[in-house]
Structure 1
Amino acid sequence: MLSIPPGLDPDLLRSFVLIAEGGSFTRAAQAVGRTQSAVSMQIRRLEEILGQPLLLRGTRGVEPTQHGLWLLERARRLLALHDEIHSTFRQPSIAGAVRLGSPDDYALRWLPGILARFAASHPAVQVEVTCAPSNELVERLGGGELDLTLISEGNEPAGARVRWLWHGPLIWVGMEEPARRRPLPLALASAGCSWRTAAISALDAADLPWRMAYTAASLSGSLAVALAGLAVTVAMPAPLPEGLRVLGAAEGLPPLPDFGIGLLRGPAMPVAEALARHIEECFQLETGFETRMRA
C-alpha cells in the first residue's frame, strides 16, 4: 500500500523562512502575529515532519543548519507560489495601469521578484516603472507623475505618511587597497543622496580625509568603479559582485548609520493599493521586517 507523507503546512514554512532570514524567533513571531512559544512549536513540528534539525542558535543568533539551508531556498519558492494561487482566487479582479517609482539602488535587488509575482496574480494590470534618485521620485509623485514609489530614508517630505518596509545598516564596499588610501577615494551618488550624506558625515566625524573620485548616477555605477579598484562606495547589505567585500574598522573606516526603505503613495486608487499591499508583503516575506507606518 502506498504511504502518503504528511503535508507541509505553509504556515510552518513561513515561520521557518522568517526565522532563518531574520535570525530571531521573536521577530518572526511578531511578523506572523503569534507568540514566540507558538512559533517554536511550529518549528519543532516541522522538524518532526522532516526528521532533521533545521535551525541552531549560533554566535549571530539563530542560523539554519545544512538541511535548513536546503529547505530555505525551496520554501521561498513554495510560499511564493502558494501566495500567488491564494491572491489570484481570493482578490477581486483588478485591471488598469499603475506607475511605480524606485531608486536604481533597489531595482535589481527587489523589483524582479516583486513585479514577477504581481504580474502572475494580477495579469490585467500594467505596471510602468521609473528608476530615478529618491528626491526626484518624490517630486514626480507630488506632481502626479507616479502613483507610488520606493524611497530611501531622508528623502520623505515633511509630514508625509510613509510605510517603512525595511530598516538596517549601510555598509562600506570595495577592495582593501583603495580603502587604505588617504584621502579616501569615494564613488557616490550626486549631492542630495542620503547615502552620500551619511558617508561624508561619518568620515568628517571621524576626522578621516576623503575625496570624491567618482560620481555615479546609480549603485551599479558606483560598484563598477569599486570593482575597478579605484574607490570605495556605500551600499545596503546584499550579495556583492565577485571581487568586492564589506569594509570596516579593519581598514580604518568609521561605522555608518542605519537607513530605511520606505513606500510613499499618491491618491488612493484600487490598482495602486493592490500593488502597495503586494510590495509590503514581499518585503515582509523576504526580510522578516514588520512594515510600519510613520509620519
Structure 2
Amino acid sequence: MIRPATLDPDLLRAFVLIAEERSFTRAAQLVGRTQSAVSMQVQRLEGVLGQQLFHRGRGGQVELTRHGQFLLDRAREMLALNDDIWRTFHQPSVSGGVCLGVPDDYALRFLPRVLVRFAEVHPDVEVEVVCAPSKELIPKLRAGELDLALVSEGESAAGMDGKPLWSGPLVWIGSDRHAAHRLDPLPLALADPTCCWRRSAIDALEATGRRYRVAYTSSAQTGTLAPVMAGLAITMSPATALPEGVRILGREDGLPPLPDFQVLMITAKEARQPVTDALADYISETFAREAVKTSQAA
C-alpha cells in the first residue's frame, strides 16, 4: 500500500497565488521572491503529486490543467484550515464584549461562519448582534450603540469611513417553479421606500418602460423572499448563497440589468478595542473567501 505524501503548505500557497495571478512573475513579485524560486516550488509540488498543474503560455501567462483545477479549491480549503489552527494557538487572546450591527440578509449568508470561527479562537468574547436594515444601523453607529456594522453602500453613511467587503451586481430573484416574472404588471416584493435596492429596481424597470406594482413590502430581506418562493412576486438580491426554491432571472426573462452595490464595514469612533478589530478581521476574511467562490462560479 502506497503511503500518501504530506503536502507542504508553502508549496500550496505558491500554487494558489500563481493560479490567482495567472503568472509566475506576478506571484513572485507579491511574495518578494525570484521567479525561479517560485517555479521550483511548483515543480516540487508537481513532483509530489505526479501531475502537471499549469500550462505555460506566451507572455508568461499560465492556465490550470485539469489536475490544477481539481487542486485549487482543495488547496484553498487546506490553507484556510491550516491558518485557522495556527491562529487558534498563536493569536493573542482577547476578552470583553462587542456589539455588531448587520442586516438580516447578510446575517443569514455570512454571520454563522464568522461567529463559529471567532468563538473558537476567542471564547471569552461576548458578541451581541443587532439585526436591522442598513438605514437603522447608521444612526446607532453614530450614537455609539454599536461597535461595528455592515451596511449597504449609499445608506446615509456620509462622513463615516467604511471598508468595502463586497462588490457585485444585484440580480433579480424569482421562484424556480413559478413564473411571476411573466405577469403584467410585474409583481414586486421590495423593502420600504427608503431602501437603495428598492430605488435601483424601480429605476431599472422605469428606464425600460416595464410596468410593475409593489405587491409586498418588508423591512427585511427574508420578508421579501417569502412571496417570491410562493411564486407571487419577484425581488432582487446579491447573487450569493440563495435559498432553495429560487433562481436568478435575467435578460432572457425580460428583466433589465441591475447596478452593482457594495457592502461596507464601518467601525464606530469609540469602538471597544482590541475586540472590535479582532472581529472585523474575521468578517473581512469570510467575505474575501465568499468573493473568490462567487468569481469561480461565474
The TM-score normalised by the length of structure 2 is 0.79
1:115 equivalenced with 2:115 (yes/no): yes
1:87 CA displacement: 2.0
Residue 50 of structure 1 aligns with which residue? 49
Deviations 1:5-59 (A, max 9, x none): 142316725863996xxx7748xx79x9459x96x95767655543456789xxx
Deviations 1:55-90 (A, max 9, x none): 89xxxxx88958845862x54553343222222333
Residue 284 of structure 2 aligns with which residue? 280
- The structure with more radius of gyration: 2
The structure 2 residue matched to 1:250, chosen from 249, 252, 255, is: 252
Q: How is 1:5-20 mapped onto 2 (pairs within 5 angstroms)? A: 5-9=5-9, 12=12, 16=16
Q: Identify unmatched segments of 5+ residues in structure 1.
A: 57-61, 290-295
Residue 181 of structure 1 aligns with which residue? 183
Residue 223 of structure 1 aligns with which residue? 225
Q: How is 1:262-277 mapped onto 2 (pairs within 5 angstroms)? A: 262-266=264-268, 267-268=270-271, 269-277=273-281
1:248 CA displacement: 1.1
1:235 equivalenced with 2:237 (yes/no): yes
1:172 equivalenced with 2:172 (yes/no): yes
Q: Tell whether the 8 Å contact from 2:16 to 2:76 is kept in structure 1 after alignment.
A: no
Distance 1:160 1:251, change over 3 A: same
Amino acid at match of 1:276: A
Q: Identify unmatched segments of 5+ residues in structure 2.
A: 56-62, 294-298
Residue 260 of structure 1 aligns with which residue? 262
Distance 1:270 1:55, change over 3 A: same
Q: Tell whether the 8 Å contact from 1:114 to 1:279 is kept in structure 2 after alignment.
A: yes
The TM-score normalised by the length of structure 1 is 0.80
Give me the CA root mean square deviation.
3.5
2-structure distance, mates of 1:173, 1:213: 15
2-structure distance, mates of 1:251, 1:169: 17
The share of aligned pairs that are identical, in percent, is: 45
Q: Tell whether the 8 Å contact from 2:173 to 2:248 is kept in structure 1 after alignment.
A: yes
Q: Tell whether the 8 Å contact from 1:148 to 1:272 is kept in structure 2 after alignment.
A: yes
2-structure distance, mates of 1:24, 1:221: 40
Residue 296 of structure 2 aligns with which residue? none
2-structure distance, mates of 1:203, 1:192: 17
Deviations 1:215-274 (A, max 9, x none): 123222222211111000101112333332111111211000000111000124211111
2-structure distance, mates of 1:146, 1:257: 29
2-structure distance, mates of 1:258, 1:109: 18
2-structure distance, mates of 1:241, 1:183: 26
Deviations 1:168-202 (A, max 9, x none): 01000104621111211000111221211111111
Amino acid at match of 2:155: N
Q: Tell whether the 8 Å contact from 1:172 to 1:248 is kept in structure 2 after alignment.
A: yes
How many residues were matched structurally? 278
2-structure distance, mates of 1:44, 1:200: 54
Residue 292 of structure 1 aligns with which residue? none
